[in-house]
């Protein structure tokens, strides 16, 4: 009977690997076409891998906790020729034996703690060289200054999956503060044995995104927003829209008027986005997910409530539909829920602007009408932006429009 490989699929744009969370079937089990058989975690969400056809599970070549690259064979399903023809699945050629997938990332020891070997141990072959996917090195505090890195050090960094950001506090003892190989090895010995844990795929994804973002000149600007109109509007609204949705809708309308504020610089050109698709930052375990709402400027606040509630719920469960992944031109992050009144958020590498929202505070504001200070409910908003694309004046005008829409919520 034909044997059909169970492959790790491409689960989203830019996703190259996934970690096996749960095996939902075992060898000998009977499965149907499109049945979910493996639950995996990517750097974006937890998803299910389904079968391409029905049949019997012959073998599984992965185990829970392994990280497997896209396209690798995870198991074999034996199916009838009729089922293969009906489903359009591609069976293995006669006599073909698929290679078991090699884990993309593995712990250096039997527990969750990282253990870093000396160069001599690698040279003597007493332990395998870690792959480039081994990350999560703890960084010591109290030392400073990484400068020029020699090819030898960079080769060692590649072996261990260490980036320049991981060495930001290493003291260089070479000429001009240069980090020597001895400095590097001393750093590894210094952190050897520190309490640690393996960074999750999502944590590694966040770290990578923030490092790429920091290559650009990111500036921030902020201002207060009078919250009484929104609070009153929400209180009277039968469906009680989320506060973040108000800010997302105001940002969308403002960007529709000035889309260049969310432009991209590519070479000597500045590209203007074609659609106002906005991300909503959602805090989840060990990271942040950013589901994306499409064409936010084309729908009213009321029309967006269901979609907003849906993507927030999916993001918190880390089971986000592919339709809501990627492609945003800007993001709204509401850190006010954590009691923070002000922050400087970082835009994603694929975006040029992010709007941060602080918590609502009662502050004294002078009133000319009554000639005294009166308590006013305010929240600070902050826009972090790529300064290559726009300047402070552009962002100031954008923030004025955002404030206007928020203070007139009937326009949302």
Strands 372-386 and 353-357: antiparallel
Taking only the tens place, the pLDDT of each residue in 357-372 is 999 999 998 888 888 9
Half-sphere exposure (Cβ direction) of 192: Cα atoms closer than 13 Å? 13
Quick one: tokens of 167? Answer: 């060495």
- pLDDT recorded at residue 101: 55
Q: 385 and 254 in contact (C-beta within 8 Å)?
A: no
- Rounded to 5°, the CA angle 186-201-352 comes to 95
Q: 23 and 38 in contact (C-beta within 8 Å)?
A: yes
Residue 397 backbone phi and psi in degrees, to 5? -65, -40
Percent of the chain with pLDDT over 70: 85
- pLDDT recorded at residue 225: 93
Least confident stretch, 146-150, 185-189, 263-267, 388-392: 146-150
- pLDDT recorded at residue 107: 36
Least confident stretch, 140-144, 268-272, 366-370: 140-144
Quick one: tokens of 300? Answer: 């009213």
Quick one: tokens of 334? Answer: 């509401």
Nearest-angstrom CA–CA distance, 191 and 115: 9
- pLDDT recorded at residue 170: 78
Q: 């992050």: which residue's tokens?
A: 333
- pLDDT recorded at residue 166: 80
Quick one: tokens of 387? Answer: 């300064």
- pLDDT recorded at residue 100: 54
Taking only the tens place, the pLDDT of each residue in 155-166 is 888 888 888 778
- pLDDT recorded at residue 97: 63
What letter would DSSP give residue 112? Answer: S
- pLDDT recorded at residue 117: 36
Q: 């009078």: which residue's tokens?
A: 226
Nearest-angstrom CA–CA distance, 273 and 279: 14
Half-sphere exposure (Cβ direction) of 189: Cα atoms closer than 13 Å? 10
Crossing angle of helices 228-236 and 243-257, rounded to 10°: 120
Q: Which uninterrupted H or E stretch holds 47?
A: strand 46-50
Nearest-angstrom CA–CA distance, 352 and 27: 49
Distance between the two ends of the chain, CA-based, in angstroms?
Answer: 61
- Confidence at 179, pLDDT banded by 50, 70, 90: confident
Residue 255 backbone phi and psi in degrees, to 5? -70, -30
Max distance between CA atoms of the chain, in angstroms, equals: 90
Nearest-angstrom CA–CA distance, 300 and 324: 19
- pLDDT recorded at residue 398: 96
Taking only the tens place, the pLDDT of each residue in 87-127 is 888 888 776 666 555 545 433 333 333 333 333 433 343 33
- Rounded to 5°, the CA angle 308-313-319 comes to 115
Q: 284 and 202 in contact (C-beta within 8 Å)?
A: yes
Q: Transcribe 315-362 into DSSP letters.
A: HHHT---GGGSS--SEEEEEGGGGT-S-------TT-SEEEEE---EE
Nearest-angstrom CA–CA distance, 210 and 351: 12
Residue 122 backbone phi and psi in degrees, to 5? -65, -40
Nearest-angstrom CA–CA distance, 113 and 220: 38
What is the residue-averaged pLDDT of the chain? 83
Crossing angle of helices 392-406 and 243-257, rounded to 10°: 130
Nearest-angstrom CA–CA distance, 382 and 79: 57
Q: Higher model confidence: residue 1 or residue 176?
A: 1
pLDDT above 80 for 340: yes
- pLDDT recorded at residue 149: 77
User: What domains, with CATH codes, occur in the chain?
Assistant: 3-87 (2.40.50.100), 119-191 (no CATH), 218-411 (3.30.559.10)
pLDDT above 80 for 143: no
Q: Higher model confidence: residue 79 or residue 11?
A: 79
Residues 6+ apart with CB under 8 A from 247: 332, 334, 355, 357, 381, 402, 406
Q: Is the pTM of this model over 0.85?
A: no
- pLDDT recorded at residue 284: 86
pLDDT above 90 for 26: yes
- pLDDT recorded at residue 122: 34
Taking only the tens place, the pLDDT of each residue in 69-84 is 888 899 999 999 899 8
Taking only the tens place, the pLDDT of each residue in 275-319 is 999 999 998 887 888 999 999 999 999 999 999 999 999 998 888
Q: Exposed, middle or buried: residue 348 (CB in 10 Å: 0-12, 13-18, 19+)?
A: buried
Mean pLDDT of 193-214: 82
- pLDDT recorded at residue 154: 87
pLDDT above 90 for 249: yes
> Would you state the torsion angle of the CA atoms of residues 381, 387, 392, 395, taken in this order, to the nearest 10 degrees?
-50
């Amino acid at each position: 009977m034909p044997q059909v490989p169970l492959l790790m699929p491409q689960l989203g744009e830019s996703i190259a690997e996934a970690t096996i969370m749960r095996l939902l079937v075992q060898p000998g089990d009977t499965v149907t076409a499109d049945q979910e058989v493996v639950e995996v975690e990517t750097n974006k969400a937890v998803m299910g891998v389904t079968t391409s056809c029905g049949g019997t599970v012959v073998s599984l070549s992965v185990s829970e906790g392994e990280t497997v690259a896209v396209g690798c064979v995870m198991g074999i399903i034996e199916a009838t020729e009729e089922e293969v023809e009906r489903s359009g699945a591609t069976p293995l050629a006669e006599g073909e034996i698929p290679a078991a997938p090699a884990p993309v990332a593995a712990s250096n020891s039997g527990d969750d703690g990282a253990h870093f070997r000396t160069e001599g141990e690698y040279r003597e072959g007493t332990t395998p060289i870690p792959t480039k996917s081994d990350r999560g090195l703890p960084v010591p505090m109290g030392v400073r200054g990484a400068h020029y890195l020699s090819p030898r050090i960079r080769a060692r960094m590649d072996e261990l999956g260490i980036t320049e950001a991981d060495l930001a506090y290493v003291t260089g003892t070479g000429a001009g503060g240069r980090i020597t190989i001895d400095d590097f090895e001393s750093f590894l010995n210094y952190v050897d044995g520190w309490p640690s844990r393996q960074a999750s795929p999502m944590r590694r994804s966040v770290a990578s995104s923030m490092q790429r973002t920091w290559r650009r000149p990111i500036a921030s600007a902020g201002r207060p927003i009078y919250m009484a109109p929104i609070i009153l509007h929400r209180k009277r609204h039968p469906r009680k829209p989320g506060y973040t949705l108000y800010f997302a809708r105001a940002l969308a309308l403002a960007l529709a008027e000035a889309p260049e504020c969310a432009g991209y610089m590519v070479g000597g050109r500045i590209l203007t986005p074609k659609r106002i698709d906005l991300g909503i930052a959602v805090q989840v375990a060990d990271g942040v997910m950013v589901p994306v709402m499409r064409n936010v400027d084309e729908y009213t606040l009321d029309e967006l409530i269901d979609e907003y509630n849906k993507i927030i719920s999916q993001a918190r469960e880390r089971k986000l539909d592919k339709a809501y992944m990627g492609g945003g031109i800007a993001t709204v992050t509401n850190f006010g829920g954590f009691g923070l009144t002000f922050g400087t958020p970082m835009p994603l590498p694929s975006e040029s602007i992010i709007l941060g929202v602080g918590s609502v505070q009662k502050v004294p504001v002078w009133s000319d009408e009554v000639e005294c200070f009166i308590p006013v409910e305010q929240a600070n908003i902050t826009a972090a932006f790529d300064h290559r694309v726009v300047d402070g004046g552009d962002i100031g005008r954008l923030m004025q429009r955002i404030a206007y829409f928020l203070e007139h919520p009937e326009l949302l």
